[in-house]
């Protein structure tokens, strides 16, 4: 199974990516993670990226595609992968399409689109709180004891991250609408998009994704245990 997971900020892409990676037995390829791994391993592209990041600049599409190519060419991705966090622009989509064609995977790739109402997502994101000790993130409404972190037990450790402030979130959505959302239409024209309601319970979202993938493939999905 070769998948790209797509959706607006806060819709649960990372959560579903980790679950699907485990259930389908395919690598979860987070662009942030593989970039850090390339820097840590001091690969040629990783060292180039490190120099750029040390200047506070964004890593170019060319370098990111190179790093993604190295990752997707790894034998561990030979039976599938789940790409999370890329592409984010039409230019990146065009570049990843060329890479997939080169790897003979363009016919196999599917895009899992998680849908949700923007205002509901804004409420979800503004209600998030992070623990200053363990860095886990929670929905503040779901925490029973507001003074104690349910993950590490730290007391009075919750704080509201700057990128979870409403004005910042609304700006992220504007960027998503203008820059990233056109990617969905790009893949819809190719008939590669599977859409799922991302504002359901986590388990139901996963269930619907797996059902849609099975329906699309015409065969039962094998779940790893």
Q: What does the DSSP assignment read for 94-158? A: HHHHHHHHHTT-TTTEEEEEEE--HHHHHHHHHTEEEETTT--EEEGGG-SSTTB-TTT--BS-E
Rounded to whole angstroms, the Cα distance separating 162 from 169 reads: 9
Average pLDDT, the chain: 90
Residue 20 has pLDDT above 90, yes or no: yes
Instruction: For residue range 161-186, list pLDDT tens digits in order.
Output: 888 899 989 998 998 999 899 999 99
Looking at residue 43, its pLDDT comes to 87
Looking at residue 182, its pLDDT comes to 96
Confirm whether 167 is domain-assigned: no
Listed in sequence order, the residues at least 6 apart from 199 whose beta carbon sits closer than 8 Å to its beta carbon are: 11, 115, 116, 117, 120, 121
DSSP letter at 162 equals G
Residues known to be catalytic: 13, 88, 128, 161, 172
DSSP letter at 44 equals H
Confirm whether 63 is domain-assigned: no
Residue 225 has pLDDT above 60, yes or no: no
Task: Give strand pairing partners of 27.
Answer: none
Confirm whether 16 is domain-assigned: yes
Question: In the structure encoding, which two tokens stand for residue 1, read together?
Answer: 């199974």
Instruction: For residue range 32-79, list pLDDT tens digits in order.
Output: 788 888 888 898 888 988 888 777 676 788 888 888 888 898 899 999
pTM for the predicted model, two decimal places = 0.83
Greater pLDDT, 222 or 81: 81
Looking at residue 34, its pLDDT comes to 83
Confirm whether 49 is domain-assigned: no
Confirm whether 93 is domain-assigned: yes
CATH of the domain at 18: 3.40.50.300
- Residue 220: helix, strand or coil by DSSP? coil
Task: Give strand pairing partners of 110.
Answer: 3
Instruction: For residue range 137-163, list pLDDT tens digits in order.
Output: 898 888 889 999 999 999 999 999 888
Residue 216 has pLDDT above 80, yes or no: yes
Domain count within the chain? 1
Question: In the structure encoding, which two tokens stand for residue 110, read together?
Answer: 């599917």
Instruction: Please give the residue range of the domain that contains residue 195.
Output: 2-26+79-117+175-217
Confirm whether 35 is domain-assigned: no
Confirm whether 124 is domain-assigned: no
Confirm whether 189 is domain-assigned: yes
Distance from chain centroid for Cα 25: 17
């Amino acid at each position: 199974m070769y998948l790209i997971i797509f959706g607006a900020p806060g819709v649960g892409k990372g959560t579903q990516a980790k679950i699907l990676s485990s259930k389908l037995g395919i690598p979860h390829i987070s662009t942030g993670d593989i970039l850090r791994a390339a820097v840590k391993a001091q690969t040629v592209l990783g060292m180039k990226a490190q120099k750029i990041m040390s200047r506070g600049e964004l890593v170019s599409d060319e370098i990111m595609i190179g790093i993604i190519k190295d990752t997707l060419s790894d034998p561990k991705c030979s039976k599938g992968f789940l790409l999370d966090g890329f592409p984010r622009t039409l230019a990146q989509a065009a570049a990843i399409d060329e890479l997939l064609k080169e790897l003979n995977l363009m016919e196999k790739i599917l895009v899992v689109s998680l849908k949700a109402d923007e205002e509901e997502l804004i409420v979800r994101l503004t209600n998030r709180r992070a623990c200053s000790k363990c860095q886990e993130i929670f929905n503040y409404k779901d925490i029973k004891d507001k003074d104690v972190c349910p993950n590490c037990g730290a007391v009075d450790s919750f704080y509201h991250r700057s990128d979870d402030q409403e004005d910042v979130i609304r700006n992220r959505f504007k960027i998503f609408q203008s820059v990233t959302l056109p990617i969905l239409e790009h893949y819809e024209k190719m008939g590669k998009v599977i859409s799922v309601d991302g504002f359901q319970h986590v388990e139901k979202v996963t269930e619907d994704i797996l059902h849609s993938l099975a329906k699309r493939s015409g065969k039962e999905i094998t779940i790893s245990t």
